[in-house]
Structure 1
Amino acid sequence: MFRSYLRLALFALGLLVGVQVPGYIGDYSKRVEAHRLESEQSLAGFRETARRFFQGDLQALVTHYQDSDDPVMRSDAQSVGYLVDRASFL
């Protein structure tokens, strides 16, 4: 008797996992893709600037911002660096 209930419980658990896991994986992949697209969109203007002045090297752009005498540019260097790191991570 106990064995049949255990089999039924394991079957129900397996069915639940089999239905839920693929949906969870699909939703997670959509979320990561949305973050990647948002990151690329945030960097679009900086990519254009890096393409025009630094042969497309975003790290050179960040370094230029960091080495600038302008405190606003130095402050923005951290934000741009974060965007570059996030885009490369995603």
Structure 2
Amino acid sequence: MNHASPIDPAETDEIDEAAFVARIEAFHEGRCRRWDDVNPTADSNDEPAGTDLDGLAAARQYQAALADAGLAGLSYPSKYGGAG
């Protein structure tokens, strides 16, 4: 699994913010439900997210997908998989 970002900060002085936002929106589209589309129960916030095994597995899967898309660890050095 390659977690390196496709953006090479050494090749640019500026990041195109609009392009970056578009990449993030494209990543989330189809992967995340909109908050107003979800019908949470009244007690849905009793436990922190990811504290059960299903939630932990889902969180790990989501973080792996972020990394595969080059959207995780944006401030990490590129040699460690970040954008630099």
Q: Same fold (TM over 0.5)?
A: no
TM-score band (shorter)? Answer: 0.3 to 0.5
With structure 2 as the length reference, what TM-score do the two structures score?
Answer: 0.34
Tell which structure's C-alpha radius of gyration is larger: 1
